[in-house]
Chain A
Amino acid sequence: MVSYSMKALILSAGFLIGLLVGLFPSPERPRPKWWQITVFLFFSVMIAVALLPPLGGSFSDAVLMSRVTGNKIVPVKATLLPETLVRDEQAGTWTMQMRDFSEPNIRATVIFPFEPPHDAKVAVVRMYRAESDVMFRATSVLSTDPLFTLPFIPDLNERARNIYFHVPLSWVAVLAYLIAMIYSIQYLRKNDHAYDVKAVSAASIGTLFTFLATVTGAIWAEFNWGTFWNWDPRETSIFILLLIYGAYFALRSAVENEDKRARLAAVYAIFAFVSVPFLVYIMPRIMEGLHPGSGSDVNAGPIVSAQPDALNPIKQIIFSLSFCSFTMVFFWMLSLRIRTGLLEYRMARQE
């Protein structure tokens, strides 16, 4: 367990490193080779640690899940106690005591229909509650002596991995719009066409990220809440963000004169941004909704919650890493898009 301030530190480090490294040397300059390799490494490590490690729950998770209908099998991370291994010849099973990894004073008996691993210290075993709360039946061994495991969240199960993609994608969707708005303000102040190219680049990559956040969210909603779309406040806010991006490009395509197009689009980008902080950061926390951290919810959501189950250090570090990597990848795409945009603009001027 980590303290709340530790969690805040880990997360803000992710945000800050992502922004600082992402903005280096500047959004429109080419990236040095070492920068590209670093970002590539960050991103691949993040994908690997979000997808590959097994989930590791506790015996109490398995007990809790046995009361819920549906999938009762829980991957439990526990220490093996090989000296307690007993072979039941009649039933053809093995029984062994195991000590819970996160709560070491809890011991339980696990019935294995196959020979349990004995050369390992810790194992993640998929099991379900048998006759009593200290008696479990194993179905398979997921992993022995894992380097680390991701926390098991009841109801989410393996789907919890999506949090490392869906949440950073949504964050970048808003960040991209913020950057497009800042470039729009710069355009109006300095009347330099390069800022218009930068604003439209940020907006077009922002559209992609908004779309991906919507799709990952919709797929997650289908398997957790039963429908692809529920008009939860956060779904409404990302929908409005998509509409704003759509309207921005519709406006751009409707004006032929270059200066006029840049000016009108910049004004619209700034004007439409007025509602975004309210819709994204305030409304979903006040109104009732399905996302964690909404008005009807007891906890404040995975990012700012101080509850012990939201303070898993592994989860925080991967979360922070994924925020950081997605931000850096966004800035990489942005710099490429800005540079091609500026080249196209200069070529069009020369013709």
Chain B
Amino acid sequence: MLRPALFAEIPLIVRQIIAVFHKDLRSEIKTRYAINAVLMFVLTTVAMIVFSTADERLSNGLASGILWIIMFFSAMTGLSKTFVSEEERGTGLLLQLSTPPTAVYFGKLFFNILLTVVLYTAAVLLFFLFIHEITIKTPLLFVAVLLLGSIATASATTIIAAIIARANTRSALFPVLSFPILLPLVLSGVEATYQSLTGIAFGQAQSNLIILASYSVVLVAVSTMLFDFVWKD
């Protein structure tokens, strides 16, 4: 981490955000609460798709759709863990007492962004390992979609995860609540992925990336305002 002298100069809220992020990261590395199960889930899904497509040649449109299905459901299994685990271990109350809600929200958001990037990268690597006929013609665009898509997914689902951690039927409720909010993102994500597979130049495909970025900004802004009501008892 950062040297203590440098650390002291950073505003308190940023330090708190970093602390929450750091805590979640260390706890994840130690327990592997989310990552192991979800990586296995990704592997299972990709294997399932490889078997079910058999010898069929996937078209670019179909491939980008299937890729987003894998990515969506892996996010849906993994991203609720940050809040659900607090609730299950009973550590939520301690966190409420020691840290302001904004710091908790942003700490968890950054952790979720990192988790989503890892999950999406794993999904993409496995997908291209098993399915050879698809090639990425505009790699820069593809990486940008992956990155912005991760940020957008995490910013849409972090507050939903906080909501469902308080409800009873958690695992079923998470995709149900997330889907209407994620759908605009998935639509632009699928289209931009398709563009990167067919080889459209980066400059021509910016509109979808702009939608992904601006929608994330709006979602994070609204989440910041609403998070207090979800988090505080």
Contacts and interface: CB of A to CB of B under 8 A. Distances in A.
A256 to B, nearest CB: 7
A269 B168 CA distance: 19
Nearest to B167: A254
Interface stretch (B45-53, B63-71, B136-144, B172-180): B172-180
B205 interface: no
Nearest to B159: A271
B218 A254 contact: no
A127 interface: no
Instruction: Classify chain A: how many residues form its interface, as a range.
Output: 20 to 34
B116 to A, nearest CB: 18
A80 to B, nearest CB: 56
Contacts of B219: 271, 274
A263 B176 contact: no
Contacts of B173: 250-251, 254
Contacts of A263: 229-230
**What does DSSP make chain A's interface, helix, strand, loop or mixed?**
helix
B191 to A, nearest CB: 10
B229 A266 contact: yes
Contacts of A271: 159-160, 181, 219, 222-223, 226
Given A254-B168, A274-B222, A244 B180 contact: yes
Nearest to A278: B184
Name which of B169, B215, B222, B226 has the most chain A CB atoms within 10 A of its CB.
B226
B97 interface: no
A237 to B, nearest CB: 10
B180 A243 contact: yes
A188 interface: yes
Interface string B148-188: 00000000000110011011110001001101110110000
A196 to B, nearest CB: 12
A254 B163 CA distance: 11
Interface string A241-279: 001101100110011100010011011101110110011
A270 B218 contact: no
Given A264-B166, A267-B163, A271-B226, 7 more contacts: A188-B226, A243-B179, A251-B163, A264-B230, A268-B177, A271-B219, A279-B184
30 contacts: A188-B226, A188-B229, A240-B180, A240-B183, A243-B180, A246-B176, A247-B180, A250-B173, A251-B164, A254-B164, A254-B169, A254-B173, A255-B167, A255-B168, A256-B168, A266-B229, A267-B163, A268-B160, A268-B177, A270-B222, A270-B226, A271-B160, A271-B219, A272-B180, A275-B181, A275-B183, A275-B184, A278-B184, A279-B184, A283-B184
